[in-house]
Amino acid sequence: MNLFFDGNFGNKIYNSQYFTTVYNEVAANQYAERLNSWSENNKNTDIPRYVKGSTGTNLAYTERWLENGSFLRLKTLELGYTLPKAWTTKAGLQNLRIYTAMENLFTITDYKGYTPDLGTNDGTGSSSGSGVMSRGCDDGRYPSARTITFGLQVNF
C-alpha cells in the first residue's frame, strides 16, 4: 500500500471565476443566489446590488472575492498484492502481482471553485500576464482528473 497526500494551508485565492459568473452584469446565466441581491425590498443581504446594463457597478477587485484556499487531497493510493510463491510456481510463473492505482480520490476544502490547486498561470482570464494577479487567482482552472488503473504484473 502506498498513500500520497498533497495540500496547501493558509493561502487565499481570488475566485475570479465565481465573481464573473455570479456577480457579473451581463445578460447571461447567473447563479440562483443572485436572486438574493441587495434591493430596496431586500436590505438584509451581503450580495451587491444588481443593476442590469450598467458598467462597472460591481466590477471591483476587492477582498470580497478572496476565499480560503487551504486543501488536503489524497493524490495517490496504490494497493497491490503479490500471490504466494506456492501458488505461482504451480502455474509456471516466478511472480504474480495484482494492483490498482488511484489518483485524485478526494479533496477536502471549503473553496467554491473547481479546484484550490491552481498550479501555474495559463495566461488567460483576468490573471493573465505576470502582474500581481497572476498568482493565487482562479480563472476557472479544471480540476485534476480522477483516474483508477488496474494492473497485473507477471514474471515468467
* pLDDT mean for each 10 residues of the chain (156 residues): 94 84 65 79 80 54 85 96 92 94 95 82 53 71 90 94
Grid cell of 19 as nine digits: 465573481
Cβ atoms of 98 and 83 closer than 8 Å: yes
pLDDT at residue 136, rounded to an integer: 82
CA gyration radius for the chain? 24
The dihedral formed by the CA atoms of 139, 140, 146 and 147, expressed in degrees to the nearest 10: -80
pTM of the model: 0.72
- List, in order, residues 6 or more apart from 21 with CB less than 8 Å away: 29, 30, 31
For position 144, what pLDDT does the model report?
A: 86
